[in-house]
Structure 1
Amino acid sequence: MSEYISAPHTFTKDGIFYFRRRVPVELRRHYSSPKISYSLRTRSARVAAARAVRAASQLDEYWYHLRCRDVDLPGKHMLRLGVAGPGQQQVGGGGVNIDCMSLSEAAVTYLRLKGDGKGVTFHRAAERACGYVIDTCGDKPLVSYTRSDANAFRDALLARGMAGSSITRVFGTVRSIINFAANEEGIELTNPFGKVYYDRSAGVSDRKPIPVAAIRTVQAECYRLDDEMRWLVALVADTGMRLAEAAGLLCEDIVQDADGKFTARITPHPWRRLKTAGSTREVPLIGSARWAAERLLEAQDGTGFAFPRYNKTGTTNANAASAGLNKWLKPYVPDGATLHSFRHSMRDRLRAVECPADIVDQIGGWQTEGVGHGYGSGYPIAVLRKWIDLAVSRSA
């Protein structure tokens, strides 16, 4: 018991010390969990105490900056007047202090100007990426970061076990924040977080499409169980929609025309934004997707949502949908395949019937390269329906 008391913010499990800290209520919107908990990888109370104190101090510092996001920087009027202490560099005739902006302040500027109207994922990615840098290198003025800092940051991300693709996203976010803030402040610098070497393919596995036979097995199970979770699987299976696109649909987004044909209108909503501008589209509902549409409209519960279980808060909980459905899906699909694999499968199924690539892109909401593809309003729904019907029936 004395060991536990001597190591603050910790608990033990099987003799191993773990760090635990509750996230302040006002900051929980930045986190996916109300508490932070992870192994300190030691059985020593002395080592655990040192690591826990350091982690708690880093969190206190970072939480301070999060709380200051919407508050003017203290002394901002002095920065505008160009008041600088001894040893601080100034550039230009206006005497702008280039040492005044730290990385955390750069993140605030970035999110204030570029984050307006963006989803919570955008904000979390920026805050998390800068938090990683601050944990590793400290919260320095932008001009003080060096190549050795960037290399140390890379090594820290590798030590976390991040895949190459995840490291690429984090580095890209950090570079964007530094470049944007430096441009806004008129700071000239060479961004040290550019062109850092690491194996971008490390830990990255190709997402496998689901074979047609397995798709049919999954759909048969959906018909048998016939509940909200399976309706979502069935809707994705024969459309290739992104899971969040489908989970965030309103019942009114599912439209039946005079001929009894169903179409899903995928548009941005406050509770579920779309990945790209090209993701706004109409998708014909054929096969299991049509069955799911019929069941969803029959089961309307008055909330307006097609899938109310995933829309109980102000944001569509696609992560919960993914976790639950992937666990259910696992016995029916090849190893490594997930719900997102239906999207890869749909592209292959459309290729198999020789569907033109730009029609495939419009059905899936993928970006089509070339200036000419930005003109006009795309293919009519009847053309899209013909190709999806052909792909679904051919692979039946």
Structure 2
Amino acid sequence: MAVAPGTKKALIAVGALAGVGALLVGLGHWRAHELVAGDVAWHAEVEHGSDEAVVVRDRVYTYDDDRLTIRDLRSGKVVAEEPLDGIWAHVGDGGHVAAGGIEQIAMYDRDGDQAWQRAVDDNYQPIAISADGELDAVVCTEKGCSTVHFDASGRETSRTPRLSPDLATPAFIGYGTFEERSVRRVPTIATDIDPATHTVRQVRDGKPLGSPIQLLDDHTAAQVGDLLVGVSRQNGTCTFTATRAGIRAWTTSTPCSDLGYPAVDVFADRIYLNDPTDDGYEIVTTDLDGRQANSFKIRTGPTDETDRIQLSPTPDAVVLTLTDQVSAYSPTTGERLWTEKLDRTSHDVLEKSTKIYPGILVSGPVVDRYANGPQPLTELAVGRDMPAYRHTFVDAASGDETAQLAAPYGSLPYGLDDGRVLMLGDDDIWLVSP
């Protein structure tokens, strides 16, 4: 049967449109897959989501809803899961976990096997775990505070009165001056701060190690592993002094402005002090080899209480987030490394029609720029539900985009030293790899 020329053209046009439509739908599904799984090394659904995590070597530790979970960083598989009736879980450099609360304290190894457990009559706050699992914890009563040392079997070997009248400790990796976390990483050697002399020193099993370090203020110190770094200021000069297991390691200085009550942040290779001023932040920093101390000011320009102002030190840059832009500065020179202008591409959660600037979160060496606005091409993925938020991960030092992930509202980043990102959601965990 012959087909009329007009009908033939119409059929060809319909076929072409169908082909184009199928191509667009295919592109939509491809883009949706890229956002959901393209940069994902692994994904795990979780029954008890956590917004806090600690990564030590090849283990991921989360603690939420009275449950400690240990995962293999390479695969995301659960290594151990322990229900714990407590309030905290602290992880040492060897992967040991001290967990507990007011009535008990227990130690687990990196595979979740319990090494020991003790009943206690007060809240013991861990401040150090050695590589072989020995624990130092602070306990406070009406008479004062003491540092209690437990050996690797859980036997109490010393109980020494502290000079510090409270639980104050130097900053740790991932645990700065103004942070409170239920899961945190602790150093390998305990310290004691003397508020009468503004000094700090390392202690082991009740015995002082080495000489005390002078401090600008009782909190201007940090610990990484067995290294203790304290910061003092005299005659316009800030001095960083470090001891390793009680032995003087190095000293380095830099001219610096007067500091009020600076926040302290520490990473594996660098310590920062930052002090807010009327028009910016005073920064004092050094690498943890003591090679070069620096001080500089990052200016924010005129701002008011409605503006977004967020300073975030990272291992290799200092990130400043303002309402409509994000910038990074070199910790060695104070010079600006990069700036990105932000557009109103996101929607207010309550007022969907209101356009707002994207959110910015900084963790480790990673800047997470997230928005819930339109995601190009994904609207064409017919039949596929997409998470509302698109996270774009940026290297803090270079400003380069490294990966993307579509994830539900409330998912939080945990940046690893190598640039990978652990994303923590209410029902999911992802490891995103550049």
Q: For this structure pair, what is the TM-score category when the shorter chain's length is used for normalisation?
A: under 0.3
TM-score, normalised to structure 2, is 0.24
Higher fraction of helix: 1
TM-score, normalised to structure 1, is 0.25
Higher fraction of strand: 2
